[in-house]
Structure 1
């Protein structure tokens, strides 16, 4: 009978536990020896770390006050202050420790651990700062304008989500790379996934980014009068996918943001003036002296109505009149005011022409006919002919002759 005296094989779990116990024992022994040998340097380094941490906390408190004094995002130093105020306690502690570990003569294992934790704290703190600066810039951009409502709130929420995902994804990749992980496949997978999502939702993203372009590039705002294609109306609401426009004819129009930005948009609210153009025909029988004085008359009439003449000059010889063109500008963008000024100018022109005996002729045309011999028959009486009635012969009775 044979007895197996070989030692039992160690399982993977027991081997791992033994290895961990060995590392802990080694770390404890090394740390205790380090404290015994460099206790004075450790105390000095700890005092320096506490002083550095106190300084960093004071800077964070000052940044919070700076943010409050700047009313959040009123200016750039307030935005920077708000970003600095988001500094985490973990980052402050790790910075303080990292700056003094060299003086304390720390063991390699402690030094490696501190470096690893400092890298994590620094990368994610940088991501937080970048996120806050981007948020602050966007909020500062929108707070200076009259953009309010659900559309802006939704847009800012989506921007926050996208920026947070991007900056923390980059931070995670950087941390994994510092840990020695091969992130090439991860980056490639993220890129392919992003392309697939973009292609699947390109229509939605196109309208979304068009909405963001409208909100931040400001081609128009709610309440502005705009014209595109053959439509003129007032902007009622700017949504994430579409914009609502109340046409001057009364109906509400809904158009996709991308489709709207692809068109030529005329912002009538931003117009400096309204130009009115009038074509005036004067009879050919008007004396040349009065025709020559006509531009001056038009200038006087327009300036008396509170407008500015852009052009008042001879245009052409028309079919039945001498044609003039009058163009004048009315300040502002209010069409009601412009229409009233145009009415005053037109009535004043009629009155002035009546006083000056200047007529505006109707379009006329004269037709001539001919007799069978080819002689023209005038459509009006011949002034050289005698149009008096011929004498009539009267008959008398025989009694009268007698």
Structure 2
């Protein structure tokens, strides 16, 4: 019985390889997979324990990178270990070697991909504020470019290992790239516009901007579009190329507001009243804590009224603060105008008539009327 089983395992073949060799290869592959998984778990626990220390940011990154190990690629590597034990024909040895390189290149690419993402995330989080990484166009472009470069190198390395002529392949990619660039030139213009926004920074996430007739707060700057939350609450999506080609007013970077306002008084004001008005307007503005007086002048003799112009600076960028200050000034000016017994002018027109025809006398009118009756 034992000899029969032994003969079965040694003499029965599959693809020219004994059944015993297949079983041994299967056991080796299974054991390799279990050992690899166990080793990765052990290393991850050690790294996570070290990442809790004060200077454990590198250990944290290493742990995150190692946790990106693909179970599928690990299984394929274990299978290749088992296959390596088999007595394969010569033509299969080169293919197994190429598969080893492909599996290793893919896994290294996955590790580097995660390492690049974590490193850029950490860099932009430290330099752009908490939570700004996802919204930063520069971060998006940097991550996208680094990943494209990484996987291009991995792909070329794998193709070269399996025997593909890389020179001809790269040349064909160059010709194809020109055709693709011509086909998607509008998209590329938006991508380069996003790069310009990232480098020049005319606005950033959180800034309140006005672009033409659109106004709102920037929520996201992407590779192709910028999303703006308008004052009405709706989201406005605008192409980056259109943003760069327009005049942008950035109110987030406003530190002070220069305010110019006018008012008009009637022509029956005296010179003394005009002097009092300008002096008291200056006093009103100087009493405001969040305002800095600049000037107040009796500007001109208008067509319908005496025109005054006042300039002051609001020491706060908030629009609500500006409106509160302006309202207070307006109310005090109204009270002051009443105190000096002047009057605000309103649009009007006075017509002066030099002469009028004299009205006919009553007697002459009656005579004309009687003549017309007799006639």
**When the two structures are superposed, what TM-score results if normalisation uses the length of structure 2?**
0.55
Aligned pair partner of 1:272 in 236, 245, 255? 255
SS of equivalent residue, structure 1 residue 269: coil
Counterparts of 1:123-134 in structure 2 under 5 Å? none
1:191 maps onto 2:174 in alignment: yes
Equivalent residue pairs, number: 273
RMSD: 5.0
Equivalent position of 2:292 in the other structure: 308
Contact 1:274/1:333 (<8 A) preserved: yes
Distance 2:343 2:269 in 1: 8
Equivalent position of 1:331 in the other structure: 315
Q: For structure 1, which runs of at least 5 residues remain unmatched after alignment?
A: 1-64, 73-77, 87-124, 378-402
Deviates more, 1:202-211 or 1:134-143: 134-143
Aligned pair partner of 1:347 in 331, 354, 358? 331
Counterparts of 1:37-186 in structure 2 under 5 Å? 136=119, 139-143=122-126, 144-148=128-132, 151-152=134-135, 159-160=142-143, 162-166=145-149, 169=152, 185=168
| Structure 1 residue 323 displacement after superposition | 1.2
Distance 1:161 1:363 in 2: 62
Equivalent position of 2:207 in the other structure: 224
Assess, with a 3 A threshold, how the Cα gap between structure 1 residues 139 and 195 changes in structure 2: closer, same or farther.
farther
Contact 1:244/1:253 (<8 A) preserved: yes
SS of equivalent residue, structure 2 residue 314: strand
Aligned pair partner of 1:243 in 205, 216, 226? 226
Distance 2:200 2:55 in 1: 24
Contact 1:152/1:215 (<8 A) preserved: no
**When the two structures are superposed, what TM-score results if normalisation uses the length of structure 1?**
0.52
Contact 1:155/1:240 (<8 A) preserved: no
Distance 2:180 2:146 in 1: 17
State the structure with more CA Rg. 1
Distance 2:274 2:193 in 1: 55
Equivalent position of 2:274 in the other structure: 291
Distance 1:219 1:70 in 2: 36
Contact 2:135/2:219 (<8 A) preserved: no
